[in-house]
Structure 1
Amino acid sequence: MDLQSTKTNDALIITVNEARIDASAAIRFKDGMRALTDGGPAHVVLDLSKVTFVDSSGLGAIVASMKQLNPGQQLDLAELTPDVAKVFRLTRMDSVFVIHDSMDSLSRRAAG
């Protein structure tokens, strides 16, 4: 699973550089997220702008990544593509995660 991390002043941005988070990638996704977030900053943002498909295993892996964070850490999501956003709405996971429309809106929110 190709995950790229970037640290900003107040957050760790993790970009998923793959089109799918599905059953074949779920374990590698969780392992990669654990490695990148362990001991990291309190605010973690998962950039899903390149992800066009998430199945139930992928959704479970994203939820598991949130649950494996250390106490005091928070996982937000950003830049969901239309099909991925639909999965989050249909499963009501959009009420579990803070979802940012864009990385720009996230930056403005942090500055404001």
Structure 2
Amino acid sequence: MKLVSERHSDAIVMRVQAARIDAAGAIPFKEAVRAGIDDAAARVVLDLSSVQFLDSSGLGAIVTVMKILGPERRLELACLSPSVAKVFRLTRMDSIITIHDTLPADIGGARHAG
């Protein structure tokens, strides 16, 4: 799974370049995110604007990423499609993970990381 990362002074924004995070893509997704957050800032923002479908395996992968970050780093999601946002609402994960309609405006200057 391809992710494009931008490092900012206080966060990493990871743009998911896939239409689906499902059973077939959950493990590659977790591996790609894990590789990009080894030296992550305090915030990791996943831009899910390209993701149109998320199943329970994809949701589990995102929860695993949150656990990998631990309590000292924060996972946030941004730009969810209506169908993906519905999964978070129905599972009430929207009360656990911060979800933004757009990329947060308070993220500092970008440095492209690939």
1:44 corresponds to: 44
Equivalent residues in 2 for 1:21-100 (5 A)? Answer: 21-100=21-100
Question: Are positions 1:6 and 2:24 aligned together?
Answer: no
What residue ranges of structure 1 are gaps of 5+ in the alignment?
A: none
Count of paired positions: 108
With the length of structure 2 as denominator, give the TM-score of the two structures. 0.90
What residue ranges of structure 2 are gaps of 5+ in the alignment?
A: 109-114
| Residue identity matched to 2:41 | P
Matched residues in 1 for 2:26 and 2:38: separation? 18
* Higher helix residue share: 1
Q: CA deviation at 1:10?
A: 1.4
- Runs of 4+ with deviation above 3 angstroms: none
| Residue identity matched to 2:77 | L
Percent of residue pairs bearing the same amino acid type: 56
Matched residues in 2 for 1:39 and 1:15: separation? 17
Is the Cα contact below 8 Å between 1:39 and 1:70 reproduced in 2? no
Is the Cα contact below 8 Å between 1:21 and 1:51 reproduced in 2? yes
* Higher strand residue share: 2
